[in-house]
């Protein structure tokens, strides 16, 4: 990377990076994981908003939904969530597993990987005075968004170099099979802009994770 005498080196999950530094330098660093997400389709019912995310790919796709304030919903509500592959017959629908009938979220556990036919999620809200529903087609690979990397830490290696280490997100089930690439950004204490290097899912599916919590260190380095 050009400019400022900074350098970055990356390795595997227990990855590392080094940076040339000046005396008493505070380094602030955050990371993100990147494996473009399906934003949804035109709503069948405008008051019911549904979104899905595959942060546990390929084990599950997790979905959630809310009723907009404009719906004026009152009283107890429950939800029925099912999914099917493409235009399968209604009898071929399977339950999207909810922790409770009134929980506004569910998980699709039987994910068909790399299917040319989208899955279709059907969420129906039951409430006094009627029901509303929403259909959401999705392709799991387009919903991939890992959680941030875990265990980000800094340590001095030698001279003016720091070692940066992290682990894959704990929610990512098989990092050795579905490999992740990583983005790193860092800045000196007091700087307004981060410098960053790139990383992404090896297949470029989905979108980057949110940034990890920052790791910082202050070192009095030798001459």
Confidence of residue 131 (pLDDT cuts 50, 70, 90): confident
Mean pLDDT to the nearest integer, 49-74: 86
Q: Is residue 120 part of a domain?
A: yes
Q: What is the pLDDT of residue 22?
A: 37
Q: Are strands 215-219 and 78-85 parallel, antiparallel or unpaired?
A: unpaired
Whether residue 88 is found in the same domain as residue 156: no
> Which of 116 and 37 is assigned the larger pLDDT?
116
Of 119-123, 134-138, 163-167, the least confident: 163-167
Domain end residue (candidates: 123, 140, 157):
140
Q: What is the pLDDT of residue 35?
A: 52
Whichever domain contains 154, its CATH number is: 2.60.40.10
Region at 24 (left for phi over 0; alpha for psi -120 to 50; beta for the rest) = left
How many CA atoms lie within 13 Å of 114's alpha carbon, on the beta-carbon side?
Answer: 1
pTM of the model as a whole: 0.71
Helix (H, G, I), strand (E, B) or coil at 133: strand
Of 33-37, 157-161, 175-179, the least confident: 33-37
What range defines the domain where residue 209 resides?
25-35+145-219
| 3-class SS shares of the chain: helix, strand, coil, % to 5 | 5, 40, 55
Q: How many Cβ atoms are within 10 Å of 197's Cβ, its own excluded?
A: 15
Mean pLDDT to the nearest integer, 108-130: 90
- The Cα–Cα gap between 200 and 3 comes to 23
> Which of 129 and 89 is assigned the larger pLDDT?
129
pLDDT of 107 above 90: yes
> Which of 94 and 181 is assigned the larger pLDDT?
94
Q: What angle do CA 44, 45, 50 make, to 5 degrees?
A: 85
Task: List 82's β-bridge partners, or say none.
Answer: 95, 122
Q: What is the pLDDT of residue 196?
A: 64
Q: Which two tokens stand for residue 21?
A: 């530094």
Domain end residue (candidates: 85, 113, 140):
140
Of 8-22, 144-158, 199-213, the least confident: 8-22
Q: What is the pLDDT of residue 68?
A: 75
Torsion 187-193-199-200 (CA) sign: positive
Domain end residue (candidates: 112, 140, 168):
140
Whether residue 178 is found in the same domain as residue 135: no
List pLDDT tens digits, range 12-54: 444 444 433 333 334 455 556 655 333 333 334 567 899 999 9
């Amino acid at each position: 990377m050009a400019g400022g005498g900074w350098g970055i080196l990356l390795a595997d999950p227990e990855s590392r990076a080094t940076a040339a530094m000046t005396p008493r330098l505070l380094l602030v660093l955050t990371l993100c994981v990147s494996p473009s997400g399906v934003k949804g389709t035109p709503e069948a019912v405008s008051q019911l908003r549904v979104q899905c995310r595959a942060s546990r790919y390929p084990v599950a796709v997790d979905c959630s939904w809310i009723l907009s304030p404009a719906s004026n919903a009152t009283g107890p509500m429950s939800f029925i969530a099912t999914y099917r592959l493409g235009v399968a017959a209604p009898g071929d629908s399977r339950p999207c597993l909810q922790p409770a009938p009134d929980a506004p979220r569910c998980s699709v556990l039987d994910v068909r990987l790399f299917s040319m036919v989208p899955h279709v999620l059907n969420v129906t809200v039951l409430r006094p005075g009627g029901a509303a529903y929403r259909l959401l087609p999705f392709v799991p690979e387009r919903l991939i968004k890992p959680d941030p990397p875990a265990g980000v830490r800094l340590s001095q290696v030698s001279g003016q170099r720091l070692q940066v280490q992290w682990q894959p997100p704990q929610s990512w089930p098989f990092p050795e099979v579905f490999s992740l690439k990583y983005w790193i950004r860092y800045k000196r204490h007091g700087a307004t802009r981060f410098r960053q290097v790139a990383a992404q899912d090896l297949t470029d599916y989905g979108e980057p994770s949110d940034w990890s919590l920052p790791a910082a260190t202050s070192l009095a380095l030798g001459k």
